Structure 1
Amino acid sequence: MSKKRVSRTLTGLLAGLVAVSCMGLSALAAAPESITIGIYSTTDMHGRCYGTDPLTDGSVNNSYLKVATAVKEERAKVDGSVLVDCGDIIQGSAITSYNVNMKEGEENPMAYCLRYIGYDAFVLGNHEFNYSSEIQTKFYDLLQSTDASVAGSPVSVVCANLIYTDTQQPKFKPYITKEFTVGGKTFTIGVLGFENVNVPNWDVPEHYAGLQFTHDGNTDRTYVYEWVNYWQQEMRETAKCDFVIVAAHSGEGGDAVGDGADGAKGSMEGFTAENQMRYFIENTTGVDMVMSGHNHTPGIYSIKNADGREIPCVNGGCNTLTATTLTLRSDGTLSLGESNALNLKDYEDDAGLSALIKPYYDETVPFVNQQIGTLSGKWDDVSDYYYTQGDTYDLVQKAQIWATGADVSITTPVPQKGFTLSSLFAEGAETAAVSLKNCYAFYKYDNNLLYMIEMTGKQLKDWLEQSASTYQIGEDGSLTGAGFGTDIAYGISYDVYVGNPEGSRVQNITYKGAPLADDAVLKVALSSYRLSATPGADSYGWYAATGINTGSDKVLFNASVSEQFGGVGGSVPLIIGEYIKSETAAGRDITPGHDTEFHVYATASDTMTRLQFVEKLHEAAGSPAAESAPFKDAGHNAALAWAYTKGIVSGDGTGNFLPDAPITREQAAVMLLNYAKSVEKGPVGAWAVQLSYADAADIHGWAAEGAMWNLISKLIPVGEDNRFNPNGTLSPADAQAMLDAFAAL
């Protein structure tokens, strides 16, 4: 190389170094005095990992695909970020159900969603404990995997209150920290996680064996205790966090009551262990921000802590991404900006994540759509299952009895709104295919596991009374109330009179045709949700009524650990599918029908309804049942079908029978006349007579003939005032007296 060329090379290098030096000085001079950190959270995403729901074929407007897009857009606006999910992720969709039940939780797609999006932390939700510890472990291991071949980046599993019973040490990291530097100052942001302390009230002990949800000594099960005694000093002094976030799978709850020292709300009045984040904020210091969840309610709150300082509390509520800005300054100060809840439906699906998850969707579709059986027969279209016995939920009850060998089945209806198996029949078709998709349509919670317990007759009666207390009578006389705390039963027959005082609403309970004795011993099939109750967490009154939960020696069968149903996780909708498959394998169609009956009346037991009067007529006639009557509100009542075919009843003209309405005297007169005609015992020839009742003008025109015949037959007695009282109601005793008189006629 020539000297000239060397010289030029050195000159060029020196020029470059000068340029680099100048750039460094320029950059140093322009170093930012502050940076903005975006703090984001989601919660209660319940298996929504894809843009299409295999069960409905409809679009999912609050999936992780939309979270991915929203987070990407938000991160482009800030200098750094902290992203946390507050739990309830494994359970909730057909895709995750297929994964945990058919693939034993291998390669759970929800883990890939969090890894792809780049979450910093995942806080456990209670529904993670719906599954075995093996399935949980597979999910957590995949989340945290540092294997370069695993898509996405590792996500820390964070939980400070899932404690090993023997060592009193957390199973997972109690918190994580992230560092951000501005100027010469490095800030540390810490995120502490809390699981819901009520998990033992909802899930079987095998799913958290050797673990507890608070430290020993925390008798009130508060996060306040955990923070003050274990983590406040650790995070503030040891980890030297400049900004502390507590992320919990717990809702805000109501206001705490009563002032304690230093402005704290010291009273436990109003405290609920399940949703305690407001109480937590009001009774602590040292926390700068709270992320809540569990209650599926999006919200942005500001709550004063024990020092009177306003603390932001954000809740993604299952369909938003919460976004909060935090400004960090080179002088060591920081400040919080506003918080917002970004509605996920406003974002497009992320194409990359969609492609990553599509294989999981593709394998689920044939699983839920495959025909597993054939429906035949005349299925009713009853869908108000709390109030009217219907064919669809009779199938649920029969499947539970088949799987367990129980005497009685109880369940709370959890269908997709309005779904009935009759809707699967094409116009004029005599058969219809049924699939697992359809099972999920009328029983949508696959985390409900099937159990069988031993109950006395009294315990069952007490629980039915508790369930009946949820019913109400609306201003228009219709039945209302009822919900997840309301069970219906099969294997026994009974009546519920909502007009009776609470505690005496359930009447006429029979088992195998005889009154149910208090000391009778029954095997009862039911879901795990009821058995999650404890004395301290008894939301629906099950434990108070029965004293039985998952830890009781009255538990006879747990489908999730049974040889026959362990493969489908003991899941109720999947067991219904197994029942249908079993019938199909035996060469049988699935047909409607029931062996026992229940009725819910919007009256008192001393007031007869229209339906009860028809049932009395049917009983007196001793006639065989007929096919269902075409009334939208009456279900598959054999007596009503008989009365319709005999011309005794015709409905209200709008397709309804109004079975729960009290029967009036003039309605009874018409039915008795029609009944008499049907058995050729009615009037013949020119028989019409003048209505001589003192209140004849009050009798409706459609009832005139019935009232005339009553003048002749005198089946419905009148008083000395000769008033027919056409709109008066009848008691069961009145009805029986009429039928006795008719029999003697």
Structure 2
Amino acid sequence: MSSLIDFHPMSRRAFLGGFAATTALITLHPFAVRANGNANQAHLRLMETTDIHVNVMPYDYYADKPNDTMGLARTASIIDQIRAEAGNSMLVDNGDLLQGNPMGDYMAYKKGMKAGDLHPVIKAMNVLGYDCGTVGNHEFNYGLDFLFNTLGGANFPIVCANLTKGELAADPKQDALHFKPYAIIEKTIKDGGGAESAIKVGFIGFVPPQIMVWDQKNLYGKAHTRDIVEAARAWVPVMKEEGADIVIALSHSGIDGHGLTERMENASLYLAGVEGIDAVFTGHQHLVFPGPKDFVDVPGADPVKGTLLGKPAVMAGFWGSHMGLIDLLLEKDGSGWKILDFTCEARPIYHRDDARKIVANVGDKAEVVASVEPEHKATLDYVRTPVGKTSAPLYSYFALVADDPSVQIVSNAQTWYIRDMLKDGPHKDLPILSAAAPFKAGGRGGAEYYTDVPAGDIAIKNVADLYLYPNTVQAVVITGEQVKNWLEMSAGIFNQIVAGAQDASLINPDFPSYNYDVIDGVTYQIDLSKPAKYDKDGKAVHPETSRIVNLQFGGKPIEPGGKFLVVTNNYRAGGGGKFPEIGADKVVFVGPDTNRDVIVRYIVEQGTINPSADANWSFVPMAGTTATFETGPKGRDYAAAVKGARIEDAGDGAEGFAKFRLILG
């Protein structure tokens, strides 16, 4: 592939059909009509992108093929339409720009970023004319120097009110911040009478406080974080005092209705309750709000109207899948403006037709495509570089229901690495275990979101596909009892199943697959007839239960007080995922290498790898019982080869997935 034609997936006929359908929708928003002729009213449209994760192009670098479900170049193509519907508009981004696909790794590890360089994501955003942005947790994955060199090229302000340079001050307003806490942008808008008038729109940004755990290696001694709601309560009154007519929160934090807690990760619901905040753009969870599926049971959230505690809010998916829209009908109140009415929408860039195929709603925006062409081509060359061979396919279609080759190869590489690194250290005689999770296992990513590498050459793109994140290797020393509880936490991904049930639902969709750790080096079974000991947040909801049975090392039951060295990544070792008793105090080794680099080195040394799973875990048999789960339809090619589980095709699932039956008897 040598030209931009390579990643343009739409035929001329398909594009023209989609474009005609889209442009036919360009009509004035009802607020624009309502304000027409009224000199003291105006319509303002606020647009959001969030969780782009370097996906500028509609291209899946892992699969090395176009993909119509992603790409800022696609989201961008509807901006002109959206602006035309409104007249007055502003565009913001809600963070997680810089990490998430091989273009991000290429820029960080191969090309690098010096002061004055322009990152392709920033190039694209400058083309589109963003008004403001904030940072997400993944902005810190490559270190602060990379972060500031990259964001320094933005032609718009970046705000964050809860990221400090050091320890927290007694008064949040005295914190020494890495970014300005807010920006008040004076925008000229045209009112319903055709006259121009100024409005002061304030934007304030927030990042999850947990970055201090997730990126400790990059932030320790260089940064600190304050609770989101606490920071908002301090700074929003200041924004009002400085004349902000309306205040918009750019919250790289999701929606959680279980009650406000200190330093909570997903605080957007309670952020909306802060006096003075008028609207909330949210993200981080890779979900859609408003919409028919997500957050339907969250108290205080209205996923039909799009409100959090009565205030307008939007979460615009991920990877450019949606454009978030908050439309405000404004009324002049004395010398300022107030919100009279609002609507909220998350507008998608694609849909599925009756045949369940993905259909693009829009084409690429040419100016965005052109802005990143050099980096796109360089990334293609980078990801196609071979590093070795695999004697068998690597796939993750069944990673949640059976021991899996894509997880197995990660554990093989981690074990190989840590054995060499600690061979002369004080922990050299401890039994070595390896914890690894499937990162691409469908879910929110869709029916195509799986690892699928055929036997033969392995390129860098395949390694990046196996291990999505630039985590670094760490190891912890824990007891046999803590190993068991680690597995108990992981087993929370499964629903409880009554013996004799037919086609019971197997997977809890609220439990993220990246927290389903398989621990290699031990053998064990999972008893689905028992309730989960821990919920997805690590709370012991059934402390008396035990799903993990027959846990053995070397063919013998594990002693609760025995010591084990478990190799994992910095996220898990530092407490990420809230696994019981796993945290920085247990860490005995902090590696200089990323897990991905370790996998590459392992493959290079082996030449040809054998990724066959060793079936070290399975479900306890349950006579006459079956359960169903969904996976990618291409899993049908591998179902017969799955070790340690009896699986049969059960037809089609929802939204492009295939359904399979797990026979537990």
Same fold (TM > 0.5)? yes
Q: Which of 233, 238, 243 matches 1:234?
A: 238
Label 1:512 to 1:71 Cα distance change in 2 as closer, same or farther (>3 A). Answer: same
What letter corresponds to residue 576 of structure 1 in structure 2?
I
Q: Which residue of 1 aligns with 2:590?
A: 558
Matched residue type, 1:126:
N
Report which of the two has the higher share of strand.
2
What is the aligned partner in structure 2 of residue 410 from structure 1?
Answer: 435
Cα distance in 2 between the residues matched to 1:234 and 1:653: 60
Alpha-carbon displacement from aligned partner over 1:228-267 (angstroms, at most 9, x marks no partner): 3x22331112x111122122112232275xxxxxxxxxxx
Q: Kindly indicate whether residue 380 of structure 2 is the aligned counterpart of residue 365 of structure 1.
A: yes
The aligned residue for residue 412 of structure 2 is 398
Counterpart CA distance in 1 for 2:176 and 2:482 is: 40
Q: Which amino acid aligns with 1:234?
A: V
Say if 2:290 and 2:314, in contact at 8 Å, map to a contact too.
yes
**2:136 is the alignment partner of 1:125:** yes
Q: Secondary structure at the match of 1:241?
A: coil
Structure 2 match to 1:481: 507
**Which secondary structure state, in structure 1, belongs to the residue aligned with residue 47 of structure 2?**
strand
1:424 paired residue among 450, 454, 478: 454
What per-residue deviation string (whole Å, max 9, x for no partner) do you get for residues 346-372 of structure 1? 332111110111111111112212221
- How far is the alpha carbon of 1:208 from its aligned partner? 5.5
After superposition, give the CA deviation of every residue in 1:543-587 in whole Å (9 maximum; x if it has no partner): x2xx232x32x323333xx1xx3xxxx1x3443222112222xxx
Using structure 1 for the length normalisation, give the TM-score. 0.64
Counterpart selection for 2:179 from 147, 160, 172: 172
Match status 1:202 vs 2:214? yes
Give the secondary structure class of the aligned counterpart of 2:95. coil
Matches within 5 A, 1:156-171: 156-166=157-167, 168-171=175-178
Return the letter of the residue paired with 1:578.
R
1:583 alignment counterpart: 606
Q: 2:473 aligns with which of 426, 446, 450?
A: 450
Q: CA deviation at 1:325?
A: 4.0
8 Å contact from structure 2 (residues 162, 228) kept in 1 = no
Preserved contact between residue 496 and residue 505 of structure 1 (Cα < 8 Å): yes
Can you list the C-alpha shifts for 1:28-76, whole angstroms capped at 9, x where unaligned? xx99766543321111111111132222202243321123222233334
**Superposition map of 1:333-412 within 5 A:** 333-334=337-338, 335-345=340-350, 346-376=361-391, 383-405=397-419, 407-412=432-437
Determine the C-alpha separation between the residues in 2 that align with 1:163 and 1:525. 31
Match of 1:525 in 2: 567
Structure of greater Rg: 1
> Which amino acid is the alignment partner of residue 51 of structure 1?
P
Structure 1 residues 31 and 199: CA distance shift in structure 2, 3 A: same
Of 513, 525, 533, the match for 1:495: 525
- Does residue 98 (structure 1) correspond to residue 106 (structure 2)? The answer is yes
Q: For 1:504 and 1:524, how far apart are their aligned partners in 2?
A: 21
What is the RMSD of the two structures over their aligned residues, measured on CA atoms? 3.9
Q: Is the 8 A contact 1:370 1:435 kept in 2?
A: yes
User: How does 1:49-128 map onto structure 2 within 5 Å?
Assistant: 49-56=56-63, 57-105=65-113, 107-128=118-139
Given that 2:394 and 2:454 are in contact with CA atoms closer than 8 Å, whether structure 1 keeps it comes out as no
Q: Which runs of 5+ in 1 are unaligned?
A: 1-29, 144-153, 215-220, 257-267, 426-431, 610-629, 641-649, 663-745
Q: Contact 2:203–2:248 (CA<8 Å) still a contact in 1?
A: yes
**Closer/same/farther in 2, CA of residues 513 and 67 from structure 1, 3 Å limit:** same
Instruction: Give yes or no for contact 1:250–1:294 (8 Å, CA) kept in 2.
Output: yes
* Partner SS, residue 248 of structure 2: strand
Residue 263 of structure 2 is aligned to residue 278 of structure 1: no
CA distance in 1, matches of 2:434, 2:663: 25
Equivalence map 1:483-632=2 (5 Å) = 483-499=513-529, 503-533=545-575, 539=577, 541-542=578-579, 544=580, 547-549=581-583, 551-552=584-585, 554-559=586-591, 562=592, 565=593, 570=594, 572-584=595-607, 589-592=608-611, 597-603=615-621, 632=639
Q: Is the 8 A contact 1:96 1:108 kept in 2?
A: no
| Matched-pair contact (CA < 8 Å) for 1:436–1:574 | no
Instruction: Tell whether the 8 Å contact from 1:187 to 1:328 is kept in structure 2 after alignment.
Output: no
Which fold has the larger relative contact order, with Cα–Cα distance below 8 Å and residues 6 or more apart in sequence? 2
1:460-479, aligned counterparts within 5 Å?
A: 460-471=483-494, 472-473=496-497, 475-476=501-502
Give the number of aligned pairs: 532
The answer on whether the counterparts of 1:382 and 1:635 sit within 8 Å (CA) in structure 2 is no
Residues 101-110 or 39-48, more deviating: 101-110
Amino acid aligned to 1:314: V
Deviation of 1:470 after TM superposition, in Å, equals 3.7
The answer to whether the Cα contact below 8 Å between 2:101 and 2:468 also exists between their aligned partners in 1 is no
Task: Pick which of 154-163 and 198-207 moved more.
Answer: 198-207
Cα pair distance change 1:190/1:421, threshold 3 Å: closer
- Displacement of 1:176 in angstroms is 1.0
Change (3 A) 1:226 1:463: same
Task: Tell me which of 419, 422, 438 is aligned to 2:462.
Answer: 438
Q: After the TM superposition, which residues 623-642 of structure 1 pair with which residues of structure 2 at under 5 Å, given as runs?
A: 632=639, 635-636=642-643
Deviations 1:440-462 (A, max 9, x none): 34x25224433222222222122
The 1:469/1:248 distance shift into structure 2, 3 A limit, reads closer
TM-superposed CA distance for 1:86, in Å, is: 0.8
Whole-Å separation in 2 of the counterparts to 1:533 and 1:253: 20
What is the rounded CA distance, in whole Å, between the counterparts of 1:352 and 1:581 in structure 2? Answer: 40
